[in-house]
Structure 1
Amino acid sequence: MKIEIDMGATAASGAVPGPAMLDLEELLATRLLVQGNSGSGKSHLLRRLLEQSAPHVQQVVIDPEGDFVGLAERFGHVVVDGDRSVAELETIAARVRQHRISAVLTLEKLDAEMQMRAAAVFLNALFDADRDHWFPALIIVDEAQLFAPAVSGDVSEEARKLSLGAMTNLMCRGRKRGLAGVIATQRLAKLAKNVAAEATNFLMGRTFLDIDMARAADLLGLERRQAEVFRELQRGHFVALGPALSRRPLPIRVGSVETAPRGGTPKLTPLPEPAGADARDLILAPVPLGPARASAAERRAAAPPAPSVNQLLEEIVRNRPTAVPAEEAPALPPEERERALRAIAREIMADPDSFFRPEPVLFGDFQVRCRIGKVGAVAPAEFRLHINAARSGLDPELASGADWDRALGVARAIPDDLQAVYLIVAAAALAGAPCPSDSEVARRCGMHSAGRARSRVKHLDKGDLVVTRSDMSGNRVAAVPELGWETAPGDPNAPARIPDEAPRPETLDLFGTPERSAAE
């Protein structure tokens, strides 16, 4: 049975407007690509498609901005918050396929990298559903260039590959599993080619860059001189082509919708009456102190992440059978052992290259030094805490005080990927130093991306472990509410402080003469 939905009206010049129909069953077999600059009406088009097809087919929306959660009230879509554990997302996606319930995965609370990971987990779970649950479903992905980028950006390569693989599976292999991808992007140049190439239906909206207009014209089979039409399209006007839309390029005007996004294009409103002399007092009035922040015990516990390699190694060491007891050296007193571990960690991290060494290499070096110093066996979690404390660069005198012990006590409950960042900020606050820049945090954590360091600082701020603010000069100040400390203002965009390179020892040649470098 042929099912067609009304997308609006045709808008060809000199022709009588007629209904712009989309063959839903053909769309399920051929997929759809929507392209248009910001403000061209892509989200409006997707909303029209969702509303018209809601009675006929299951829908799953990957929504990075929370624009489509309004479908829940009108059409009964289940809104799934992307800020969940991997196991929860996989289970929910499996239930969505099994029970054929339309859903919206909203990712607005996550940063770019976490959005990619959550979307990849959810799409892979839809793709890996049991064969008995391969029912037809429209999978709408808004801002698809975020999940299938043509080039790597500030996110990690692991997250990019995971997300790109899930999008490729959706567009290349999803048809046999009943999954029909509908992807929307601002620019074709930002979208991975192997994802865009699998679409057979196209709706091209307003775009201005020559490279994007030329590529859109090529996809629609238009001549290069006709590419200027995409620059002149109005908001909500698209050029359609494909077996589910039209066999030739057809301009259409998208019809109205019943639901609306929570946001929208801001409208101009009259300014309030001038406040006169009271404006300064109104704006610069003393800022009241907010309510006390919740303690660590009152915060919502985060979902446990998947165990890391070091955690698995720690479990193996803890559960391995004990060997035949041999005569052991007397154990060091706890305080002396703690001082020895801190000293070993500082010795290792005194070398600037140690910041970028892999954690297993640092762990091996740490264990060897502990054996030499007769400190005894050290668990990976204990090693990680002392190495992260040494990454902070805190003065040894301050590091031996009770205040720093409090900071380490808080850090023990923080996830591994945020522990080092927390201790770096806490050390600067304890010493009264300026707040470290994103580049400095990245260097001390062994990362090459200041954006990733900035993202982790935001994660700490989101969890109330660190509270950041900006002063009038744009400098960042970080407070540690659990400890009552605060850093001095610091430029978040300042470059990392590269320590001076230690002088290299003089080497002699076979005749006892000092060797000269190539530069000399």
Structure 2
Amino acid sequence: MKIEIDMGLTAASGAVPGPAMLDLEELLATRLLVQGNSGSGKSHLLRRLLEQSAPHVQQVVIDPEGDFVGLADRFGHVVVDGDRSVAELETIAARVRQHRISAVLTLETLDAEMQMRAAALFLNGLFDADRDHWFPALVIVDEAQLFAPAVSGDVSEEARKLSLGAMTNLMCRGRKRGLAGVIATQRLAKLAKNVAAEATNFLMGRTFLDIDMARAADLLGLERRQAEVFRELQRGHFVALGPALSRRPLPIRVGAVKTAPRGGTPKLTPLPGQPSAEARDLILAPVPLGPARATAAERRAAAPSAPSMHQILEEIVRNRPAGPAPEEVPALPAEERERSLRAIARETMADPDSFFRPEPVLFGDFQVRCRIGRVGTVAPAEVKLYLNAARAGLDPDRAAGAEWDRALAVARAIPDDMQAIYLIMAGAALAGAPCPSDHEVARRCGMHSAGRARSRIRHLDKGDLVVTRSDMSGNRVAAVPEFGWETAPGDPNAPATAPAEAARAVTPDLFGPSERTAAE
């Protein structure tokens, strides 16, 4: 049985407008690519497609901006928040396929990298469903260039590969599993070619860059001189081609929709009629007193840049008194060298202000101390590991044990931006101390944003490196399942430890016990 849905009207010049029909069954077999600059009507087109096909086929929407959550009120879609653990996203995706329930995965609360990871996990959950649940479903991915970028950007390479692999599976291998990809992008040049190449149906909207117009013309089989048509398209007008739409390029105008996005296009509104005197008093009213701010003169006086590692070493060599050539220092035994490096890291991070010093300065300080202690130079990756271990704040005796060595072995395989947080949580769990708050984790990692620390803790949780839970009092407990360690309950919103207390928690002396340690 052939099922067609109405996408609007044909808009060919000189012809009587007629209905623009889309063959839904053919779309399930051949996939669809939508392209158009911001404001060209892509989201409106996707909304029309979703509304018209909702009674006939299951739908799954990957929504990075929360534009399609309104479908739940009128068409019964289940809204799934992407801020969930790995197991939750994969299980929910499997249930969506099993019960044939339309769903919208909203990712608006996540940053770009977490959006890519959450979308990849959900798509892989749909793709890996049991064969008995391979029912036909439309999978709509808005802003697909975010999830299948042509080149690496600000996100980690691991997240990019995970997301790109999931999108490639959807477009290349999803048809046999009943998944029909519908992807929309602002620019074809930003979208990975192996993802875009699998679409057989195209709806090309307004675009202005020559490279995008030429690529769109190539996909539609138009001559290069005809590519100018894409620059002249109005909002909501597209050129359609494909077995589910038209065998020849066909201009269409997308019809009206029943639901609306939460944001919408900004509309001009009249400015408030405010007399100039009142407006001046309103803007220049006395500002409430708050923390002292730097004066203009102080702001103009830029602080000197921190010296680099090479500058520090050059200064030491330049000021060193002339003397006989030093005798060659024998290499330290492996165990003694390891103890010295850990002590040097604790000394480097002893000052609470060290947590916020730039990495090159910390590296230079560490290497200078290594030379003074006759340890030799250390590879940058190892320096990073020792400094991150010192951020955990463990006492020297516990840090010298075999259990902490196991945690360091795991940390070596963790990305640099997650390594410090893992060691902070693992150190608290090993010591049985209260779970560090988001503010405390941010302080130890040299960040000023507790929200950023909270996001990275959730990322560790989703990777099952550290598992967090809340007790009846709302306190957080963190466990390291690989070793069976667990922290005591701690308030996740508690303020960071005072600098004086933090300084007392670290053993700063490299060459001998401190007075406080001796007194104890």
* TM-score, with length taken from structure 1: 0.64
1:351-376 Cα distance to aligned partner (Å, 9 max, x none): 3586941599759999xxx9999954
8 Å contact 2:35–2:185 — kept in the other structure? Answer: yes
8 Å contact 1:422–1:460 — kept in the other structure? Answer: no
Change (3 A) 1:456 1:256: same
CA displacement at 1:279 relative to structure 2: 1.1
Q: Measure the CA separation in 1 of the matches of 2:12 and 2:341.
A: 80
CA displacement at 1:424 relative to structure 2: 4.3
- Name the counterpart of 1:143: 143
Q: Which segment is superposed worse, 347-356 or 134-143?
A: 347-356
- Name the counterpart of 1:346: 347
CA displacement at 1:462 relative to structure 2: 11
- Name the counterpart of 1:105: 105
- Name the counterpart of 1:233: 233
CA displacement at 1:220 relative to structure 2: 0.3
Q: Measure the CA separation in 1 of the matches of 2:43 and 2:223.
A: 28
CA displacement at 1:483 relative to structure 2: 3.6
* TM-score, with length taken from structure 2: 0.64
8 Å contact 1:205–1:237 — kept in the other structure? Answer: yes
CA displacement at 1:277 relative to structure 2: 3.9
Q: Measure the CA separation in 1 of the matches of 2:255 and 2:388.
A: 65
1:182-218 Cα distance to aligned partner (Å, 9 max, x none): 0000000000000000000000000000000000000
CA displacement at 1:345 relative to structure 2: 3.3
- Name the counterpart of 1:423: 444
8 Å contact 1:411–1:419 — kept in the other structure? Answer: no
- Name the counterpart of 1:63: 63
Change (3 A) 1:285 1:95: same
Helix, strand or coil at the partner of 1:212? helix
Helix, strand or coil at the partner of 2:169? helix
How many residues end up aligned between the 2 structures? 372
Establish whether residue 6 from structure 1 lines up as the match of residue 2 from structure 2: no
Q: Measure the CA separation in 1 of the matches of 2:398 and 2:258.
A: 72
Change (3 A) 1:134 1:374: closer
- Aligned partner of 1:423: which letter? R
Q: Measure the CA separation in 1 of the matches of 2:389 and 2:60.
A: 49
- Name the counterpart of 1:357: 381
- Name the counterpart of 1:134: 134
8 Å contact 2:443–2:496 — kept in the other structure? Answer: no
CA displacement at 1:270 relative to structure 2: 1.1
CA displacement at 1:421 relative to structure 2: 4.7
Helix, strand or coil at the partner of 2:347? helix
1:28-85 Cα distance to aligned partner (Å, 9 max, x none): 0000000000000000000000000000000000000000000000000000000000
8 Å contact 1:363–1:380 — kept in the other structure? Answer: no
- Name the counterpart of 2:404: 379
Helix, strand or coil at the partner of 2:183? strand
Alignment of 1:247-258 (within 5 A): 247-258=247-258
8 Å contact 1:144–1:191 — kept in the other structure? Answer: yes
Q: 2:287 aligns with which of 284, 289, 306?
A: 284
Alignment of 1:39-188 (within 5 A): 39-188=39-188
Alignment of 1:244-393 (within 5 A): 244-274=244-274, 275-282=278-285, 284-285=287-288, 345-346=346-347, 350-351=365-366, 356-357=380-381, 362=386, 375-377=400-402, 379-380=404-405
CA displacement at 1:5 relative to structure 2: 0.1
Q: 2:436 aligns with which of 407, 410, 413?
A: 413
Q: Measure the CA separation in 1 of the matches of 2:200 and 2:263.
A: 31
Helix, strand or coil at the partner of 2:279? coil
Q: RMSD of the TM alignment (CA)?
A: 4.0
Identity of aligned residues (%): 73
CA displacement at 1:271 relative to structure 2: 1.3
- Aligned partner of 2:381: which letter? R
8 Å contact 1:32–1:183 — kept in the other structure? Answer: yes
1:288-330 Cα distance to aligned partner (Å, 9 max, x none): 9xxxxxxxxxxxxxxxxxxxxxxxxxxxxxxxxxxxxxxxxxx
Helix, strand or coil at the partner of 2:252? strand
Q: Which segment is superposed worse, 54-63 or 272-281?
A: 272-281
- Name the counterpart of 1:445: none
Q: Measure the CA separation in 1 of the matches of 2:259 and 2:379.
A: 52
CA displacement at 1:456 relative to structure 2: 3.8
Q: Measure the CA separation in 1 of the matches of 2:248 and 2:366.
A: 66
Helix, strand or coil at the partner of 1:48? helix
8 Å contact 1:70–1:259 — kept in the other structure? Answer: yes
